[in-house]
């Protein structure tokens, strides 16, 4: 056997999904090959130089809590850090970082290179090899055969991709990296339903051509906790972004060039995301909106390139100049790279189990944008789950399936595999039912034990977790302390809280809306030596106790349905009482449990009752 | 659907029978029973005769309870064996619903039994029959006829809430957009609008009112077509002054009569005609009001000389057209011909009225809530919206949580879920994204 061609796991693609998948599998002891068309695409931030944001920031925290890499790599390379939604409630606090896209790539590549069991290979995967039941490896376009027990497809936007700038198109991937021309055929042969999605990116411009004095400064937030639970602080949170707006002139230019926009001429056929519209789409759909925001973000510390967020477009290059020049501060713009739209092949994710393994072929996993998602964080999350589950499959262990009640990752994968998606899927906090529990501050509480069980949480990470857990326990004990009225009267009066004549526990004081844990800390000299993160978590848990209890109760009920398993071999056509639509959907999705079944559109509560009866008759589902 | 609440339902088929069984399941059901039933059994599995003290009624009944896990559902359960018939069981159920229970979903007792590991082959046998039977009952009750219009109303409410949630959620998911984010005042206004509409819909839930107060039946028609005579015949004694002189009935008269298990409140009205008599004019105004407020209108024609009268009233779905004076001229079997004088077909008229009530065709507005499950969903929606209002000073995520709960309660009627709708609405209405 040749060491270069025999693997446990082959990961196709080295983007954010591929990196997490490969690291997870290799760290779980699997000999893992990462195959990418170009190794310079490892961890490449093809769109904006930013990680996190609403819901996505929570996902990064979850990846970290499970033992993934994204949070660690973000902390290493970030140049600005902010907490979005401060003042809107802890359920929606979401961290977001601006990162140096070049060091993000090189740090990630370095991490992969240094990981034992992990091999990197520049090659285009042309075909997935398999027998009737399972995958056996891949064949490269260059003609080499690589054997493996499992294959994770994390092809991103590279499958048959094509970029579009006006009338000019080019059959390449993001930023001109070569695309993957052969694999789609292999996917079709294996029975995948292949569709075509579209996304886009704005121009990159030279910093010296921008008059930042005409723009609004967007600095980072001070005192931000790092993304990774492993880190105490981050260093480089000190660079600014800038905000400007489109003008009436911008909109006029765009409108008078609608006829040249590939988006409207029919040249673009892929389905684009509604939440990430190009500027021509925004002007078209929201004609009465007078201006649109433009954020200018640094691409890195060793480059003068600036990313122009909000200006994604596929207009002809010359029109792009006119558009950009109409924006205050960009009159003298030097465009370095054009904005472009990109179309690519992806699959219908309902073909996958919640483990992300293909239902028709054992050992084949799909993760990231190939599954119809959008975003680095969504991709990384799937990669992590696919990588862990490739290892679990090899070891004959139960796959990791996260629930809607324990993580955004659970919501993400459940949505994808239960409902599918008709456009690139982006995570949003409004997609989660139990938002107050799926917070960014408690991802470790929710997931680190699970990660530990699956073997990806290192001793170091676990020790950090246990320490924080102990801290929160001690803080909670301190909060039980009674304070006499004379000792809180002063504080309450200063904070505008009604003073009462009974002694109060510190915890009860904290429940008052104007009293923070910091107030208690300062007033009574408490909580010395505890980490800010532990204090924050306890504070939120106390202040939102009622809501949290409510969600927990809902989850308990939710889990009753989730725990009733539906065996894979059920033939729904044979269950009398099910409506035809329900039979078809159930046969297609093959839900893992009653809860998942109930979330399939077209399966009614009455159908669920029929399933319950069926399960009981056959003594299944226990 | 929440699985932790106490659920209740009538578990015998709707209709006439010697007894009807009303049962509850869930933690707390025994406590609820104790508060309503006098002479509660001291031990589980013991049947006791006592009194069910409901709202506006009290009746002898038997009661037995089962302790978790030794019950059908595996939860604490209580069964009341009430006197048979529609009214008593419903009144008991309504009492339970107003005392902390919510109406069981279709097949929910079975579902709970299953989720709690209590199902075995023996009880499964009968379940499919029950599911079938339940859908037959639903069809009989005109459920399907109503759902179209009701869905419309509920969707309208959901639509408003979806708008509101989208406005809140866009602020949470897209905090950095150049948008005019929703203010607390706007949330309050939207909430109060939806609450009012929900309340209006609930107010139409006259099933309870019909059970308690009876069904209001206005008798209208031209002067001297025999309205008052018909009333007398319907109730079985002379109540109205009957003369041959047009316009004898100057005031609305009402009289009640219990037919089978429903109380009919007949309202005799003054004949509709133009008159210069002031007193009679007032009477005519009252008649118009009576028609508006009625659940059912009996439009009486003089069978002797029918002409196209009162077309508007005739077209109203709550109207039953009646041709009087069948003793003089019979109009055949296609129309309802009665004779107030001889009593011919008067029993049939009562049956027609009764059927119309059962079919749910009675309506004092375009949509009426008749289904207790719908009432329950609407009530829970209202409670959630009230709570949203109470926490208006809290952060948006908390307000959203309550509104979502309200949305979901409505969704239980239409079978939709909030998340996708809200996400779609955000993208429809707001220009967001990089």
What is the per-residue DSSP string for A159-178? BT-EEEETTEEES--GGG--
- Number of independent structural domains in chain A: 4
Q: Which long-range contacts (CB under 8 A, 24 or more apart) does A301-305 make?
A: A301/A79, A301/A100, A301/A103, A301/A239, A302/A100, A302/A102, A302/A103, A303/A102, A304/A206, A304/A207, A304/A208, A305/A204, A305/A205, A305/A206, A305/A207, A305/A336, A305/A337
> CB of A83 within 8 Å of any CB in chain B?
no
Q: Where are the alpha helices (DSSP H) in A317-458?
A: 317-325, 376-395, 408-414, 443-454
The pLDDT of residue A257 is: 94
User: So where are chain B's domains?
Assistant: 6-140, 143-204+369-429, 210-358
**pLDDT above 70 as % of chain B:** 67
Residue of A84, A276, A613 lying closest to B175 (CB–CB): A84
Which residues, other chains included, contact A256 with Cβ-Cβ below 8 Å and sequence gap of 6+?
none
- Residues A133, A61 within the same domain: yes
Closest CA in chain A for residue B397: A89
Which CATH number does the domain housing residue A210 bear?
Answer: 2.40.30.260
Whether B123 has a pLDDT exceeding 70, the answer reads no
Are the beta carbons of B128 and A88 separated by less than 8 Å? no
**pLDDT above 90 as % of chain B:** 19
- Residues A240, A312 within the same domain: yes
The pLDDT of residue B129 is: 43
- Least confident window among A179-188, A354-363, A403-412, B170-179: B170-179
> CB of A435 within 8 Å of any CB in chain B?
yes
Of residues B263 and B210, the one with the higher pLDDT is: B263
Residue with tokens 């195959």: A35
Please, which residues 111-150 of chain B have a Cβ atom closer than 8 Å to chain A?
Answer: 111, 114-115, 117, 119-121, 124, 127-128, 131
Contact A26, A118 (CB under 8 A): yes
- Among the ranges A17-21, A525-529, A557-561, B138-142, which has the highest mean pLDDT value? A17-21
Give which of A57, A20, A13, A96 is closest to A427, Cα–Cα. A57
**pLDDT above 70 as % of chain A:** 99
User: Is there a domain that residue A557 lies in?
Assistant: no
Give which of B143, B274, B269, B156 is closest to B218, Cα–Cα. B269
The pLDDT of residue B409 is: 86
Distance CA A414, CA A401 (A): 9
Element (H, E) at A366: strand A364-366
Average pLDDT, chain A: 93
Residue of A55, A275, A564 lying closest to B115 (CB–CB): A564
User: Is there a domain that residue A255 lies in?
Assistant: yes
Give which of B375, B403, B349 is closest to B164, Cα–Cα. B403
- Residues A350, A368 within the same domain: yes
> CB of B415 within 8 Å of any CB in chain A?
yes
Domain final residue, candidates A431, A454, A477? A454
> CB of A56 within 8 Å of any CB in chain B?
no
- Among the ranges A557-571, B185-199, B404-418, which has the highest mean pLDDT value? B185-199
> pLDDT band at A560, cuts 50/70/90?
confident
The pLDDT of residue B324 is: 85
> pLDDT band at A578, cuts 50/70/90?
confident
Contact A557, A494 (CB under 8 A): no
Residue of B119, B423, B433 lying closest to A616 (CB–CB): B119
The helix/strand/coil state of A540 is: helix
- ipTM, interface predicted TM-score of the complex: 0.83
Residue of A293, A429, A557 lying closest to B3 (CB–CB): A557
Tell me the average pLDDT across B82-90.
Answer: 76
Closest CA in chain B for residue A57: B173
Contact B406, B161 (CB under 8 A): yes
- Residues A20, A147 within the same domain: yes
Are the beta carbons of A87 and B395 separated by less than 8 Å? yes
> CB of A282 within 8 Å of any CB in chain B?
yes
Of residues B251 and A325, the one with the higher pLDDT is: A325
> Can you say how many angstroms the Cα of residue B399 is from the centroid of all Cα atoms in its chain?
30
> How far away is chain B from the Cα of A617, in angstroms, using its nearest Cα?
6
Residue of B115, B124, B174 lying closest to A613 (CB–CB): B124
Token reading at B345? 């077909």
Of residues B263 and A117, the one with the higher pLDDT is: A117
Report strand pairing: B296-302 vs B319-324: parallel
- Residues A586, A497 within the same domain: no
Predicted confidence (pLDDT) per residue in A269-291, tens digit: 877 777 778 899 889 888 888 99
- Residues A573, A536 within the same domain: no
* Interface test mutation site (partner B, options A45, A613, A618, max chain B beta carbons within 10 A): A613
Residues of B in contact with A280 (CB under 8 A): none
> pLDDT band at A175, cuts 50/70/90?
very high
- Among the ranges A187-201, B156-170, B256-270, which has the highest mean pLDDT value? A187-201
Residue of A430, A608, A615 lying closest to B169 (CB–CB): A430
* Alpha-carbon distances of B113 from A100, B96, B108, B110, rounded to whole Å: 57, 21, 8, 5
Query: For chain A, how long is the longest CA-to-CA vector?
Result: 83
> pLDDT band at B307, cuts 50/70/90?
low
- Residue B346 falls in which region: left (phi positive, over 0), alpha (psi -120 to 50) or beta: alpha
CB atoms within 10 A of CB A602: 15
Are the beta carbons of B433 and A275 separated by less than 8 Å? yes
Predicted confidence (pLDDT) per residue in B21-68, tens digit: 899 999 999 999 999 999 999 999 999 999 999 877 888 899 999 998
The pLDDT of residue A101 is: 97
> CB of A290 within 8 Å of any CB in chain B?
no
Whether B134 has a pLDDT exceeding 60, the answer reads no
- Residues A55, A157 within the same domain: yes
Contact A264, A283 (CB under 8 A): no
Handedness of CA B339, B343, B348, B352 (dihedral sign): positive
- Residues A338, A351 within the same domain: no
> pLDDT band at B375, cuts 50/70/90?
confident
Distance CA A443, CA B240 (A): 77
- Least confident window among A515-524, B46-55, B135-144, B230-239: B135-144
- Residues A399, A251 within the same domain: no
Contact A361, A148 (CB under 8 A): no
Tell me the average pLDDT across B280-288.
Answer: 67
Superfamily of domain B6-140: Probable tRNA modification gtpase trme; domain 1 (3.30.1360.120)
Which CATH number does the domain housing residue A486 bear?
Answer: 1.10.10.1800
* Alpha-carbon distances of A524 from A481, A491, A533, rounded to whole Å: 11, 10, 20
Distance CA B118, CA B141 (A): 31
Closest CA in chain A for residue B135: A606
Are the beta carbons of B173 and A430 separated by less than 8 Å? yes
> How far away is chain B from the Cα of A278, in angstroms, using its nearest Cα?
8
Contact A377, A427 (CB under 8 A): yes
Are the beta carbons of B177 and A293 separated by less than 8 Å? yes
* Interface test mutation site (partner A, options B129, B173, B177, B421, max chain A beta carbons within 10 A): B173
Q: Which residues pair with A195 in a beta bridge?
A: A346
**Alpha-carbon Rg for chain B in angstroms:** 26
Q: In terms of C-beta density within 10 A (0-12 exposed, 13-18 middle, 19 or more buried), how is residue B11 classed? A: middle
Are the beta carbons of B433 and A277 separated by less than 8 Å? yes
Closest CA in chain B for residue A561: B115
The pLDDT of residue B214 is: 66
Whether A387 has a pLDDT exceeding 90, the answer reads yes
Token reading at B8? 């209740």
Element (H, E) at A84: strand A78-84
Which CATH number does the domain housing residue A425 bear?
Answer: 3.50.50.60
> Can you say how many angstroms the Cα of residue B161 is from the centroid of all Cα atoms in its chain?
23
The pLDDT of residue B353 is: 85
CATH of domain B143-204+369-429: 1.20.120.430
Distance CA A535, CA A95 (A): 17
Distance CA A410, CA A414 (A): 6
The pLDDT of residue A413 is: 98
Are the beta carbons of A293 and B176 separated by less than 8 Å? yes
The pLDDT of residue B139 is: 33
Of residues A190 and B178, the one with the higher pLDDT is: A190
The pLDDT of residue A147 is: 97
- Residues A450, A490 within the same domain: no
Task: Give the full edge-to-edge strand order of the sheet including A194-201.
Answer: A168-170, A162-165, A340-347, A194-201
> CB of B244 within 8 Å of any CB in chain A?
no
The pLDDT of residue B138 is: 35
Whether B135 has a pLDDT exceeding 50, the answer reads no
Interior angle at CA B2, CA B27 and CA B393, nearest 5: 105
> pLDDT band at B155, cuts 50/70/90?
confident
Determine the angle formed by the axes of helices A376-395 and A16-27, rounding to 10 degrees: 30
Of residues A267 and A6, the one with the higher pLDDT is: A6
φ/ψ (deg, to 5) at B413: -80, -45
User: Is there a domain that residue A579 lies in?
Assistant: yes
- Is the pTM for the entire model greater than 0.80? no
Whether A493 has a pLDDT exceeding 80, the answer reads yes
Task: Give the full edge-to-edge strand order of the sheet including B19-25.
Answer: B37-38, B48-54, B57-66, B77-83, B19-25, B6-10, B101-103
- Residues A585, A493 within the same domain: no
The pLDDT of residue A84 is: 92
The helix/strand/coil state of A379 is: helix
The pLDDT of residue B136 is: 34
Are the beta carbons of B169 and A429 separated by less than 8 Å? yes
Give which of A594, A606, A588 is closest to A565, Cα–Cα. A594
Whether B207 has a pLDDT exceeding 80, the answer reads no
**Concatenated DSSP letters of A231-242:** -S--S-----EE
Tell me the average pLDDT across B125-137.
Answer: 41
Distance CA B40, CA B46 (A): 9
Please, which residues 281-310 of chain B have a Cβ atom closer than 8 Å to chain A?
Answer: none
Domain final residue, candidates A343, A375, A396? A343
> pLDDT band at A265, cuts 50/70/90?
confident
Residue of A295, A309, A435 lying closest to B397 (CB–CB): A435
Element (H, E) at A504: strand A504-505
Token reading at A592? 């893992």
Are the beta carbons of A577 and B128 separated by less than 8 Å? yes
Contact B345, B338 (CB under 8 A): yes
Q: Which residues pair with A84 in a beta bridge?
A: A94
- Residues A65, A114 within the same domain: yes
Residues of A in contact with B414 (CB under 8 A): none
The pLDDT of residue B103 is: 80
Average pLDDT, chain B: 75
- In terms of residue numbers, what domain contains A568? 563-617
DSSP state of A570: -
CB atoms within 10 A of CB B394: 17
Please, which residues 236-265 of chain A have a Cβ atom closer than 8 Å to chain B?
Answer: 245
Contact A246, A292 (CB under 8 A): yes
Distance CA A234, CA A231 (A): 7
Predicted confidence (pLDDT) per residue in A424-463, tens digit: 999 999 999 999 999 999 999 999 999 999 999 999 999 9
**What's chain B's length in residues?**
434
Whether B283 has a pLDDT exceeding 70, the answer reads no
CATH of domain B210-358: 3.40.50.300
Domain final residue, candidates A404, A428, A454? A454
Tell me the average pLDDT across B307-313.
Answer: 68
Are the beta carbons of B119 and A577 separated by less than 8 Å? no
> How far away is chain B from the Cα of A82, in angstroms, using its nearest Cα?
12
The pLDDT of residue B144 is: 37
The pLDDT of residue B2 is: 52
């Amino acid at each position: 056997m040749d060491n270069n061609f025999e693997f446990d796991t082959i990961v196709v693609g080295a983007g954010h999904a591929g990196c997490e998948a490969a690291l997870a599998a290799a760290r779980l002891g699997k000999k893992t090959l990462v195959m990418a068309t170009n190794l310079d695409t490892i961890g490449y931030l093809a769109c904006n130089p930013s990680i996190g944001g609403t819901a996505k920031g929570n996902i990064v925290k979850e990846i970290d809590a499970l033992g993934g890499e994204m949070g660690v790599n973000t902390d290493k390379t970030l140049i600005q850090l902010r907490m979005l939604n401060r003042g809107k409630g802890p359920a929606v606090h979401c961290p977001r970082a601006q990162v140096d896209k070049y060091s993000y790539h090189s740090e990630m590549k370095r991490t992969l290179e240094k990981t034992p069991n992990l091999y990197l290979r520049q090659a285009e995967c042309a075909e997935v090899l398999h027998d009737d039941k399972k995958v056996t490896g891949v064949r490269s376009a260059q003609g080499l055969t690589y054997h493996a027990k499992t294959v994770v497809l994390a092809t991103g936007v590279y499958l048959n991709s094509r970029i579009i700038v006006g009338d000019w198109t080019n059959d390449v991937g993001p930023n001109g990296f070569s695309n993957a021309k052969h694999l789609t055929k292999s996917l079709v042969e294996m029975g995948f339903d292949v569709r075509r999605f579209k996304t886009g990116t704005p121009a990159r411009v030279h910093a010296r051509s921008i008059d930042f004095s005409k723009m609004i400064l967007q600095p980072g937030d001070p005192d931000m906790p790092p993304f990774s639970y492993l880190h105490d602080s981050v260093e480089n949170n000190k660079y600014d972004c800038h905000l400007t707006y489109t003008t009436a002139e911008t909109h006029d230019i765009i409108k008078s060039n609608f006829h040249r926009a590939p988006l409207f001429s029919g040249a673009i056929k892929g389905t684009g995301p509604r939440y990430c519209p190009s500027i021509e789409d925004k002007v078209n759909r929201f004609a009465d909106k007078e201006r649109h925001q433009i954020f200018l973000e640094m691409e890195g510390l060793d480059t003068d390139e600036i990313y122009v967020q909000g200006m994604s477009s596929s207009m002809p290059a010359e029109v792009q100049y006119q558009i950009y020049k109409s924006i205050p501060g960009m009159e003298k713009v030097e465009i370095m790279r054009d904005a472009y739209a990109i179309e690519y092949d992806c699959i219908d994710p309902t073909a996958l189990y919640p483990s992300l393994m293909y239902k028709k072929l054992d050992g084949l996993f799909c993760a990231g944008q190939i599954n119809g998602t959008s975003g680095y964080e969504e991709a990384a999350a799937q990669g992590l789950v696919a990588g862990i589950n490739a290892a679990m499959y090899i070891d004959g262990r139960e796959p990791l399936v996260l629930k809607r009640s324990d993580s955004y990752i659970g919501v993400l994968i459940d949505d994808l595999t239960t409902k599918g998606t008709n456009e690139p899927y982006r995570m949003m906090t409004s997609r989660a039912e139990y938002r107050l529990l799926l917070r960014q501050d408690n991802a470790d509480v929710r997931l680190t034990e699970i990660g530990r069980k699956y073997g990806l949480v290192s001793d170091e990470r676990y020790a950090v977790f246990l320490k924080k857990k102990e801290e929160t326990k001690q803080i909670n004990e301190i909060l039980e302390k009674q304070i006499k009225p004379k000792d809180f009267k002063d504080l309450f009066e200063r904070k505008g809280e009604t003073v009462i004549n009974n002694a109060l526990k510190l915890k009860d004081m904290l429940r008052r809306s104007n009293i923070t844990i910091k107030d208690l800390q300062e007033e009574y000299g408490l909580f010395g030596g505890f980490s800010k993160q532990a204090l924050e978590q306890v504070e939120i848990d106390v202040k939102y106790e009622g809501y949290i209890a409510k969600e927990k109760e809902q989850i308990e009920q939710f889990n009753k349905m989730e725990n009733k398993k539906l065996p894979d071999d059920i033939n729904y056509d044979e269950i009398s009482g099910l409506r035809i639509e329900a039979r078809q959907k159930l046969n297609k999705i093959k839900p893992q449990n009653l809860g998942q079944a109930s979330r399939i559109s077209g399966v009614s509560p009455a159908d669920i009752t029929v399933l319950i009866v069926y399960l009981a008759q056959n003594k299944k589902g226990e | 659907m929440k699985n932790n609440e106490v659920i209740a339902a009538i578990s015998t088929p709707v209709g006439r029978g010697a007894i009807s069984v009303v049962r509850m399941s869930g933690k707390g059901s025994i406590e609820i029973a104790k508060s309503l039933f006098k002479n509660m059994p001291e031990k589980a599995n013991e049947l006791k005769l006592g009194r069910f003290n409901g709202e506006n009624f009290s009746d002898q009944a038997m009661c037995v309870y089962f302790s978790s896990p030794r019950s059908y559902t595996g939860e604490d359960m209580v069964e009341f064996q009430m006197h048979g018939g529609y009214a008593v069981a419903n009144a008991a159920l309504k009492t339970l619903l107003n005392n902390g229970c919510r109406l069981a979903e279709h097949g929910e007792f079975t579902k709970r039994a299953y989720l709690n590991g209590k199902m075995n082959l023996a009880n499964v046998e009968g379940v499919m029959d029950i599911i079938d039977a339940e859908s037959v009952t639903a069809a009989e009750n005109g459920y399907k006829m109503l759902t179209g219009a009701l869905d419309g109303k509920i969707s309208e409410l959901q639509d408003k809430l979806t708008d509101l949630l989208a406005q809140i959620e866009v602020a949470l998911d897209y905090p950095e957009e150049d948008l005019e984010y929703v203010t607390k005042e706007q949330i309050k206004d939207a909430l109060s609008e939806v609450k009012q509409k929900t309340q209006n819909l609930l107010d139409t839930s006259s099933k309870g009112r019909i059970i308690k107060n009876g069904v209001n039946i206005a008798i209208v028609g031209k002067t001297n077509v025999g309205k008052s005579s018909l009333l007398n015949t319907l109730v079985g004694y002379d109540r109205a002054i009957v003369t041959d002189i047009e316009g004898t009935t100057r005031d609305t008269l009402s009289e009640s009569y219990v037919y089978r298990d429903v109380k009919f409140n007949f309202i005799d009205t003054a004949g509709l005609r133009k008159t210069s008599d002031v007193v009679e004019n007032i009477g005519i105004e009252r008649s118009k009001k009576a028609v508006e407020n009625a659940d059912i209108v009996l439009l009486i024609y003089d069978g002797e000389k029918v002409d196209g009268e009162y077309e508007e009233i005739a077209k109203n779905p709550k109207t039953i057209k009646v041709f009087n004076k069948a003793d003089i001229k019979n109009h055949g079997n296609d129309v309802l011909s009665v004779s107030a004088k001889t009593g011919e077909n008067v029993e049939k008229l009562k049956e027609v009225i009764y059927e119309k009530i059962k079919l749910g065709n009675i309506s004092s507005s375009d949509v009426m809530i008749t289904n207790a499950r719908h009432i329950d969903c609407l009530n829970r929606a209202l409670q959630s919206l009230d709570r949203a209002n109470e926490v208006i000073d809290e952060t948006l995520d908390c307000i959203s949580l309550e509104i979502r709960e309200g949305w979901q309660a409505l969704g239980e009627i239409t079978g939709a879920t909030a998340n996708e709708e809200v996400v779609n609405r955000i993208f429809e209405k707001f220009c967001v994204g990089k």
